[in-house]
Structure 1
Amino acid sequence: MNKRVDIPSNGFAHDEIDQNNSGNETFQHVLQARLSRRGLLRGGVGTAATAVMGSLGLSACGGGNNDNDAAFVEKPSYFSKLGFAAVPKSLADLVAVPAGYTASVIYALGDPLNASTPAYKNDGSEADFDNRAGDHHDGMEYFGLNVSGTERQDNSSNRGLLVMNHEAITDQFLHVAGTTSGTRPASESYKEITAHGISIVEVARSNAGVFTTNNSSAFNRRITPLTPVTLSGPVKGNALVKTLYSKDGTAARGTINNCGTGVTPWGTYLSGEENWAGYFGRVISDNTARGGATARSVVSLNRYGRAVSATAGAASRHGWETSGTDDIYKRWNISQTGSSTDGTDDYRNELNTFGYIVEVDPYDKTAAVRKRTALGRFAHESASFATPVEGKPLVVYMGDDSQGEYMYKFVSATNWSAADAAASNRIAVGDKYLDSGKLYVAKFAADGSGSWIELNISNSAIAAYASYKFADQADVLVNARLAADAVGATKMDRPEWCAVHPQTGEVYYTLTNNSNRKIDATSAQFVVDAPNPRAYQDAKIGGSLGSAGNINGHIIRTKDTGANPAATSFNWDVYLFGAEAGADASKINLSALTNDQDFSSPDGIWFSKKTGLCFIQTDDGAYTDVTNCMMLIGVAGKVGDGAKATLSYTKADGSALSVDTYVGAKPAADQLRRFLVGPKDCEITGCTETPDGRALFVNIQHPGETITKANIGDSSKFLSHWPGSIGFGAGGALARPRSATVVITKNDGGLIGS
């Protein structure tokens, strides 16, 4: 079975479809916080019994004032080994964490963001989500607030803002009787649209050591697909982004399918627009209206997954464009319906206004939301900064989440000035560093080296690309996938999150899986290669074989030459290969994972700046016959700490095929362990911490998402009832499941992972 995907009622799952046809190579409203460091120093310890969450009790610890702990935020204490016992694999409908830790729910789908919005009923009756938590909690970051809750204070661990993405929706659970098929009622579509986007919610730790959300905070807000945004950078004002909504191509509406995140050195939030294309529909005749199959806009649409055929249009994910003539619905139809030559009388160019890194200032509601077009347009996951160096360019690493897509980095044209870290006009600082620079794509070599190739129209491979005629540099950025095709970038096994190791500066990318990775090539498959060396069948309980390909995924890491993030060459190896512990060690379990370490389909990846530990989260459909999705913690080494391995295959014609790859050091028992297992049918995603490293926030996405309209009225058919089943919110033991944020603390107040 392939990687889990968010499958709506129409069965469309865009991110499972390979769009790369080029010939290139182939991470209870109460948040229970344990003792802060300040509380430990005071020696105040107390407990109070509360509800039970999953297999873990919730208890309150006294000690600590509601201050910022500024004097008690210690320097990083990087760990060389782990101090917790591994969590066993589990199919239970709960969140399991190690002995000595507590996990508690703080913020779930539908929770109100102001005092006038009533508590969530969890029965599908709420009208909209403009003032409530959205669905499918995903990437997330923590931004500190001062003691009075009025302004930014980066080292505050007792008060801050959680900013998170709401990637998608489990649409059936949002309505009383599930979704309406065919023509969608506007009331249903509006609810579904506003359940996407971003949340900003204030959290605070009380004198008793308990975190709560503050639903009266002036900072709380939602950013949805309807929120006005500004296009920024080289694409702003270009012909490719002119629409009926913004005839000069400078503005757009909202953000959607937001997945991974990033934090800028100046204190703003970055959100990646991931698999956004599937929300938009095209009619069968649209190719003809646009000038035929070879028209530039048609080639672009095909490359981004919006192809039509002689018998079928490109179906939208939820059918919002059927909900009437109101502009907020008809924008989801990107067919050319107008007569203008520039697209200003319809939404033929609307798709080109999505697919970017979005910058938000969580501290300032009045600051414009920016789409940073200089960082390219593709299925963005996270955006991870190299450590800033005074007088040197800023560097941002990114991945494109689809099978056979690429890894990218952006190098700013402006050199970093540390004074900008404390600037009050943070969006203006973003303009300075993120609107001009060079976008690169990665090409891997079989000898463990690689190169970063600039995507610039001055590159002859791009300027003379036969498959698509680029008009200008803005066109190169809008169609970054096509430009990467042109320069021969390496097709990877679904690049998702990336993260920079805080000590070494090396970059870790999760390659979740690829069902098209094969030993023998066909037009729709990729032959195994050095950075993507595995092709095998999934072993199921009982000995049967499931899907073939790179089923369990891997984590690749790169080291820029000379420890210079702006360098155009690098070395690489594979940090970890996902695998079942009992799988063939010569072809599958190359990292020699044990039962306490094995995993499948790595998705989220994140490093603690406090401890240097690596957090790996899974979004899996292959190993889920054995265990629910999980999070592991690892002590990561360095590129080159392992050895070369040769994988031997027999092709269909009987000939031999050998592939060399580079495997990182096999993890010791105290250097990689399973830390968390989630409830049924969920994905584990999003990870952030308080600056003191003693509270970890994690998102549980879409528990029990596998539901049909036919079963929406029978709660016994729900695969999960979490978190209602453990006493959080309405619904009790048979509640509709909800995506939610949990906080994890160590019972003795220590650092997570110690």
Structure 2
Amino acid sequence: MDRKDIIQSTEYGNKAEAFEAFDDIPTNPHLGRTIGDVIQQRYGRRDFLRGSLGVAATASLFGATALTAPRQVAAASARDSRYVFDELQWGNDVDHHIAEGYNADILVRWGDPITADAPDFDVMNQSAEAQAQQFGYNNDYVGFAETEPGRGMLCVNHEYTNEEVMFPGLGRQDRSDFEGMTADLVDIEMAAHGGSVFEIVKGADGKWAINRDNPANRRITANTPMTLDGPAAGHPRLRTSADPAGMTVLGTINNCAGGMTPWGTYLMAEENFHGYFWSDVLDAEGKPDISAQPEAASMDRYGVPGRWYAWGQYHDRFNIDKEPNEPNRFGYIVEVDPLNPDAMPIKHTALGRFRHEGAETTIAADGRLVIYSGDDNRFDYQYKWVSADPVTKANSHFGSSLLSDGTLYVARFDADGTVQWLPLVHGQGPLTAENGFASQADVAIDTRLAADALGATPMDRPEDAQPGPNGTAYLMLTNNSRRAADQTDAANPRAESRFGHIIEIREDGGNHSAEKGTWSILVLCGDPKVEEVGAMWNPETSENGWFGSPDNCAFDNAGRLWISTDQGSNWGRTGKSDGLYALETEGDLRGHSKLFFRCPVGGELCGPYFADESRTLFLAVQHPGTDGTKDFAGFERDSTFEDPATRWPDFNPNMPPRPSVVVVTREDGGVIAG
């Protein structure tokens, strides 16, 4: 199935669903030894498909007690769990739901003013000027820079836009080659991308609210000036007619997950940047023809141009026929100083160029900064960055050399249970001029090609990766329905993996900067009652607790892992809306999961982020009322602006669904799940 077939298919109810399906088609040609092959070699594919493992494998997943302990009732599991809350009932409806004893309050919605001068939201009369001062669309990552107890700067990514539920009377644009889009609508979309930074304050009643009067409040958009640093800054491949020095980029796009540095700056990960680029040069089948492009090999590996948006019709920099180097200026980690609106954001090219899902940081046992980041595409790779120097008071600041001087690694998972971190360093191994890498700049720009050359392990869509205590890290592999039976391996064990899995890494010596570690599977997601799914959970996991398509994750102050899900249009396979789950990682209940929060229909849960000593949890619900609405009983059609599956969170007949950030607190003000 190619791009045109997917766009015209009735299976996908909105543009986002269609292009996510198109993105399922891998761009990696090196699939001889995928993570599925490695898992098969380590554990044995037949055991996984039976939904049961041998004694040794089961013990490695869940601990020895799981082999002999009788199945307990849910109440006993709750008593023994480190997560103290009554599990939520699974389901899917027009509203969000939270476990008993908790509040889930809407903090901010698409269009809400966040600056002192911002106009009130008028959904029928939108403008780019207004949107540039209002909360953006499709909120994904949420971070918090505390300035004092009960006060700080909230930092939120805005990943993409759904014009069919965003603009009145427009409908699906990809099917009509964007015939309804105008320059004004494109400019609103560009203003709705990027991020929002604004102060929030906790009141005497325990509720959080926006302080619009803080002069540091601002929007970061697809037009915000940004500088470049690292090996690719100023390189000829990053120079354009508007920026002949190759040092200043306008904007950031498709900001999915992210991270916060130990010094309180905000990291925005640029994910599916390829989709924003346009070309007027098409082949006989209507596909972009890049054969004459000087950057053709790089464009092909990154999927440029995707033609997901009409921006290139109105802005030359997004048209590769006019600016072939512009795509090379996206796909990086962007650092923002939340407290200083005058500080130009920095794109750190040393951290590599790929479809970054997350930029989660930790300080290793040896004192160095480590950042984990996945490349969210079928059959792409898991990376980590290790700074050259340890973190000190002197270098803990915005624009620190810790983000430009160090080594980027890519992971190779072996069937013996080891993971090798392979350095992406020019001149080492195959990364030489003879193989197309003239300098470290080429390695930074073409990180995917460099990782190909090193023989990294193709993964099942590596999404968020969260460093944990004692040198552990947890990798969210959301799904890979394109994996064939002969493409499985030890770390990606299931063909047509529609539900995903989670890998635990234990770095050697408990040190996140180590170049070697061991890996195991924490859970294989999906319904454990369906044998052919091959799901694996702790046997105490209830019907409410299992999930599919893990996406983002976070640790609370007690070192407990929380998982949010993104099933996209496939939630009909589980019947469950996306939500937040508490997942045990150690002890007799290792692999035991409990449902805590669930989204309204068609929404994806992002974040999560704990603050206020784990008394506050920020969650982001994006694209409510859009994904998979044909499977929503009683609605069973595509959502539009005029006819959405839900009008969450306003439930106003004159307002479409609005992506929003939710604040979770305990009714008694205590620690969440404590």
TM-score (normalised: structure 2): 0.84
Deviation at 1:636, TM superposition (A): 1.8
Structure (1 or 2) with the larger CA radius of gyration: 1
Structure-2 residue corresponding to 1:97: 98
**Contact between 1:174 and 1:192, CA under 8 Å: does it hold in 2?**
no
Deviations 1:629-653 (A, max 9, x none): 111012322xxx79xxxxxxxxxxx
Partners in 2 of 1:200 and 1:677 — Cα distance? 26
Does the residue aligned with 1:12 lie in a helix, a strand or coil?
Answer: helix
Deviation at 1:469, TM superposition (A): 1.6
Partners in 2 of 1:534 and 1:686 — Cα distance? 27
1:135 aligns with 2:157: no
Deviations 1:9-49 (A, max 9, x none): 894335333111124520xxxxxxxxxxxxxxxxxxxxxxx
Partners in 2 of 1:167 and 1:278 — Cα distance? 12
Mapping for residues 158-307 of structure 1, pairs under 5 Å = 158-178=150-170, 181-182=178-179, 184-284=181-281, 293=291, 297-306=295-304
Partners in 2 of 1:393 and 1:80 — Cα distance? 33
**Contact between 1:618 and 1:683, CA under 8 Å: does it hold in 2?**
yes
**Contact between 2:115 and 2:213, CA under 8 Å: does it hold in 1?**
yes
Does the residue aligned with 1:460 lie in a helix, a strand or coil?
Answer: coil
Which amino acid in the other structure matches residue 348 of structure 1?
P
Partners in 2 of 1:384 and 1:713 — Cα distance? 35
Partners in 1 of 2:438 and 2:157 — Cα distance? 34
Which amino acid in the other structure matches residue 404 of structure 1?
F
Which amino acid in the other structure matches residue 333 of structure 1?
N
Partners in 2 of 1:269 and 1:132 — Cα distance? 19
Deviation at 1:370, TM superposition (A): 0.2
Listed as ranges, the gaps of 5+ residues in structure 2 are: 1-5, 35-79, 631-636
Deviations 1:110-148 (A, max 9, x none): 0012233332233464454110010000001011124xx
Structure-1 residue corresponding to 2:318: 332
Does the residue aligned with 2:19 lie in a helix, a strand or coil?
Answer: coil
Length, aligned pairs only: 600
1:8 aligns with 2:15: yes
Does the residue aligned with 1:517 lie in a helix, a strand or coil?
Answer: coil
Does the residue aligned with 1:394 lie in a helix, a strand or coil?
Answer: strand
Change (3 A) 1:131 1:295: closer
1:448 aligns with 2:417: yes
Deviation at 1:397, TM superposition (A): 1.2
Deviation at 1:594, TM superposition (A): 2.9
Deviations 1:693-732 (A, max 9, x none): 1111100110012599x988774x311110012xxxxxx1
Q: Which has a greater percent of helix?
A: 2
Partners in 2 of 1:243 and 1:585 — Cα distance? 52
344, 347, 350: which one aligns with 1:371: 347
Which amino acid in the other structure matches residue 581 of structure 2?
L
Deviation at 1:624, TM superposition (A): 3.1
Which amino acid in the other structure matches residue 160 of structure 2?
A
Structure-2 residue corresponding to 1:122: 123
1:427 aligns with 2:398: yes
**Contact between 2:395 and 2:402, CA under 8 Å: does it hold in 1?**
no
Deviation at 1:561, TM superposition (A): 1.1
Partners in 1 of 2:516 and 2:159 — Cα distance? 33
Mapping for residues 609-620 of structure 1, pairs under 5 Å = 610-620=557-567
Does the residue aligned with 2:570 lie in a helix, a strand or coil?
Answer: coil
**Contact between 2:127 and 2:184, CA under 8 Å: does it hold in 1?**
no
Which amino acid in the other structure matches residue 378 of structure 2?
Q
Partners in 2 of 1:444 and 1:301 — Cα distance? 27
**Contact between 1:552 and 1:578, CA under 8 Å: does it hold in 2?**
yes
Change (3 A) 1:723 1:404: same
512, 523, 534: which one aligns with 1:587: 534
Deviation at 1:534, TM superposition (A): 1.2
**Contact between 1:498 and 1:606, CA under 8 Å: does it hold in 2?**
no
Structure-2 residue corresponding to 1:399: 374
**Contact between 2:560 and 2:583, CA under 8 Å: does it hold in 1?**
yes
Deviations 1:383-417 (A, max 9, x none): 1223355x643221111000000001111122222
Does the residue aligned with 1:483 lie in a helix, a strand or coil?
Answer: helix
Change (3 A) 1:271 1:330: same
Deviation at 1:734, TM superposition (A): 6.0
**Contact between 2:361 and 2:372, CA under 8 Å: does it hold in 1?**
yes
**Contact between 2:523 and 2:535, CA under 8 Å: does it hold in 1?**
no
Partners in 2 of 1:279 and 1:331 — Cα distance? 10
Deviation at 1:250, TM superposition (A): 1.1
Partners in 2 of 1:556 and 1:711 — Cα distance? 35
**Aligned residues: CA RMSD:** 2.8
Mapping for residues 438-477 of structure 1, pairs under 5 Å = 438-463=407-432, 469-477=436-444
Which amino acid in the other structure matches residue 532 of structure 1?
N
Deviations 1:650-703 (A, max 9, x none): xxxxxxxxxxxxxxx7534xxx21001110100000111223211111001100
Structure-2 residue corresponding to 1:517: 483
Structure-1 residue corresponding to 2:591: 667
Does the residue aligned with 2:471 lie in a helix, a strand or coil?
Answer: coil
Partners in 1 of 2:514 and 2:477 — Cα distance? 23
Structure-2 residue corresponding to 1:748: 668
Deviations 1:445-499 (A, max 9, x none): 011112111112212323277xx62221110111000011111100000000011
1:695 aligns with 2:628: no
Structure-2 residue corresponding to 1:109: 110
Partners in 2 of 1:365 and 1:714 — Cα distance? 34
Does the residue aligned with 1:226 lie in a helix, a strand or coil?
Answer: coil
Deviation at 1:214, TM superposition (A): 1.5
Structure-2 residue corresponding to 1:630: 579
Mapping for residues 516-535 of structure 1, pairs under 5 Å = 516-520=482-486, 527-535=487-495
Change (3 A) 1:578 1:679: same
Listed as ranges, the gaps of 5+ residues in structure 1 are: 27-78, 147-155, 307-313, 324-328, 338-346, 521-526, 536-548, 643-664, 726-731
Which amino acid in the other structure matches residue 364 of structure 1?
N
Change (3 A) 1:739 1:6: farther
Change (3 A) 1:315 1:746: closer
**Contact between 1:124 and 1:174, CA under 8 Å: does it hold in 2?**
no
1:354 aligns with 2:330: yes
Change (3 A) 1:234 1:561: same
**Contact between 2:156 and 2:195, CA under 8 Å: does it hold in 1?**
yes
Partners in 2 of 1:108 and 1:507 — Cα distance? 32
Structure-1 residue corresponding to 2:55: none
Does the residue aligned with 1:92 lie in a helix, a strand or coil?
Answer: coil
Change (3 A) 1:23 1:627: closer
Partners in 1 of 2:367 and 2:13 — Cα distance? 40
Mapping for residues 601-616 of structure 1, pairs under 5 Å = 601-608=549-556, 610-616=557-563
Over the matched positions of the two proteins, sequence identity in percent amounts to: 33
Change (3 A) 1:93 1:183: closer
Change (3 A) 1:296 1:569: farther
